[in-house]
C-alpha cells in the first residue's frame, strides 16, 4: 500500500508499506477519503496539533473508509462496513478524564496526529474509534464526521436557544458546518461574515439569512451588535474583533478556531463589562462523534457546496497549499 508520511519541515514522502494487520480489538480500514484540516496546515508549518507530533507520521484525522479486516474480539463491525474514525484517544486516568473533561486529557493520542492516520491507503484503529456509516453516504461526506463532531461540541458550548440570532464569523468549511448546526439548533436568523465571495455564496446556499463582506464598512456597520451568539471560525485578530463587534448585549462568544500558538488579542474589557459578554473556548470533540454520524446518516447536513477540491496522495503539498488558498473551501485527499 501507499502512505504519505509527513517528515517535518514541510515535507511528505510517499512510501510503499505492508497493509496493516489488526490486533485484538482493532480493525483495518481501506481509507477512501480524508479531509485536509486546518490542524494539518498548522502541523505542516511546524506548529502543534491537538497533541504533539513526532515525524515521520501519516497525518489525516478526518477520514472514512471500508473495513477490510477485524481483529480478535471485534463484534461491533464486520468486513465491508463503511466507517468513519474518531481520532482522539484519551488516557482515562488523568484528573480531566476522571472529572468529565476528557477533551483536556493530559496524555491524549490522536489518529492522524500521533498515530498513523488517513493520508494512506489503509489504516488500523481500535474498534472503539470506528463508527458505522450508512452504505449510501458518500465517503467524502463520511470523512466530515470529525469536523462535524468538533463543531457539535462548540454548538453545545454556545447554548443556542430557538429564536436566537447567530453570527458565524468565517465562511470556510467549519463556518459552513456551524451555520447548518445553528439552523438545526433553532436559530431564527443566521448571519455570516466572510470576505470571500465564493464562500458567502455557499453560506447563502446553505441557509444563511445574510452573508456580508466585513471589509465593506457599510455592510459591517449593518451587523454591529446584532447577534445573541457569535461563533468565530477563522483564528486571526480581525475575525476576533468582528466577533466582539457583532455581539449584542448579553451575547455568548465562542472562539472556536485554531489560532497560531503565539496569537494574542487585546481584550476589550469595557465591552465585556458593559455588554455582559460570555467568552468561551472549544477544543476537539468529547462524546460528540456518535451524534455527528447520526446527523450524517440521517441526511441532515449538506457538503456539496463545501467540498471543492480533491487530490491524490502523491500531491500532499499541493493539497495543503490549496486548503490554505482562497479558491477552496474544503480539500479532500482520495487515497
Residue 193 lies in a domain: yes
User: Of how many residues is the chain composed?
Assistant: 335
**Partners of 4 in beta bridges:** 14
From the list 39, 84, 288, 308, the catalytic residue is 39
Question: pLDDT exceeding 70 applies to what percent of the chain?
Answer: 99
Active-site residue flag, 39:
yes
Q: Which pLDDT value is given to residue 49?
A: 67
Q: What range does the domain containing 324 cover?
A: 2-144+306-333
In 10 A of CB 299, how many CB atoms? 11
CATH number of 208's domain:
3.40.50.720
Q: Half-sphere exposure of 79 toward its Cβ, with a 13 Å CA cutoff?
A: 5
Task: Assess if residue 286 is contained within a domain.
Answer: no
Euclidean distance between the first and the last CA atom of the chain, given in angstroms as a whole number: 10
Torsion sign across C-alpha atoms 281, 118, 334, 66: negative
Residues 172 and 264 in one domain: yes
Nearest to 111 by CA among 122, 123, 93: 123
Co-location of 58 and 101 in the same domain: yes
Measure the CA–CA gap between 34 and 320, rounded to whole angstroms.
Answer: 12
Residue 228 inside a domain? The answer is: yes
Q: Provide the β-strand partners of residue 124.
A: 28
Note whether 101 and 167 are same-domain residues: no
* Residues 106 and 186 both lie in one domain: no
| Per-residue pLDDT tens over the stretch 239-275 | 999 999 999 999 999 999 988 888 999 999 999 999 9
- Asked if residue 299 belongs to a domain, the reply is no
Please indicate whether residue 289 is annotated as part of the active site.
no
Check whether 51 has a pLDDT greater than 80.
no
Looking at the structure, do residues 8 and 138 belong to the same domain, yes or no?
A: yes
Identify the band that residue 52 occupies on the pLDDT scale cut at 50, 70 and 90: confident
Q: What is the pLDDT of residue 47?
A: 83
**Taking the model in full, what pTM does it have?**
0.97
Residues 14 and 138 grouped into a single domain: yes
Q: Is residue 68 part of a domain?
A: yes
Integer Cα distance of 93 and 283 in angstroms = 19
Cell numbers for 131: 463508527
Q: How many domains does the chain have?
A: 2
Q: What is the pLDDT of residues 305-318, one digit of tens each?
A: 999 999 999 999 99
Whether residue 29 is found in the same domain as residue 114: yes
> Which is the catalytic residue, given 11, 21, 42, 54?
42
Amino acid at each position: 500500500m501507499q502512505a504519505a508520511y509527513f517528515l517535518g519541515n514541510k515535507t511528505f514522502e510517499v512510501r510503499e508499506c505492508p497493509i496493516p494487520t489488526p490486533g485484538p480489538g482493532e480493525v483495518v480500514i481501506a481509507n477512501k477519503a480524508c479531509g485536509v484540516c486546518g490542524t494539518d496546515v498548522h502541523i505542516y508549518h511546524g506548529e502543534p496539533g491537538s497533541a504533539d507530533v513526532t515525524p515521520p507520521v501519516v497525518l489525516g484525522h478526518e477520514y472514512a473508509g471500508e473495513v477490510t479486516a477485524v481483529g480478535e474480539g471485534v463484534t461491533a463491525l464486520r468486513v465491508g462496513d463503511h466507517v468513519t474514525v474518531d481520532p482522539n484517544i484519551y488516557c482515562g486516568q488523568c484528573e480531566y478524564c476522571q472529572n468529565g473533561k476528557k477533551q483536556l486529557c493530559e496524555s491524549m493520542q490522536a489518529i492522524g496526529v500521533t498515530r498513523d492516520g488517513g493520508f494512506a491507503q489503509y489504516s488500523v484503529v481500535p474498534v472503539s474509534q470506528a463508527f458505522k456509516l450508512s452504505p449510501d453516504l458518500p465517503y467524502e461526506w463520511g470523512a466530515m464526521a470529525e469536523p462535524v463532531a468538533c463543531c457539535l461540541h462548540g454548538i453545545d458550548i454556545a447554548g443556542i436557544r430557538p429564536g436566537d440570532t447567530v453570527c458565524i464569523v468565517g465562511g470556510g468549511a467549519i463556518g459552513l458546518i456551524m451555520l447548518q448546526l445553528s439552523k438545526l439548533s433553532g436559530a431564527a436568523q443566521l448571519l455570516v461574515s466572510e470576505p470571500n465571495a465564493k464562500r458567502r455564496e455557499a453560506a447563502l446556499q446553505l441557509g444563511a439569512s445574510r452573508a456580508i463582506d466585513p471589509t465593506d464598512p457599510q455592510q459591517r456597520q449593518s451587523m454591529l451588535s446584532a447577534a445573541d451568539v457569535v461563533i468565530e471560525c477563522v483564528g486571526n485578530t480581525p475575525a476576533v474583533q468582528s466577533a466582539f463587534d457583532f455581539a449584542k448585549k448579553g451575547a455568548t462568544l465562542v472562539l472556536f478556531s485554531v489560532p497560531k500558538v503565539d496569537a494574542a488579542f487585546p481584550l476589550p474589557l469595557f465591552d465585556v463589562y458593559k455588554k455582559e459578554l460570555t467568552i468561551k473556548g472549544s477544543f476537539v470533540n468529547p462524546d460528540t462523534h456518535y451524534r455527528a454520524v447520526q446527523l450524517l446518516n440521517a441526511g441532515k447536513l449538506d457538503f456539496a457546496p463545501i467540498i471543492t477540491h480533491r487530490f491524490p496522495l502523491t500531491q500532499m503539498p499541493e493539497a495543503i497549499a490549496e486548503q490554505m488558498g482562497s479558491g477552496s473551501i474544503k480539500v479532500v485527499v482520495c487515497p
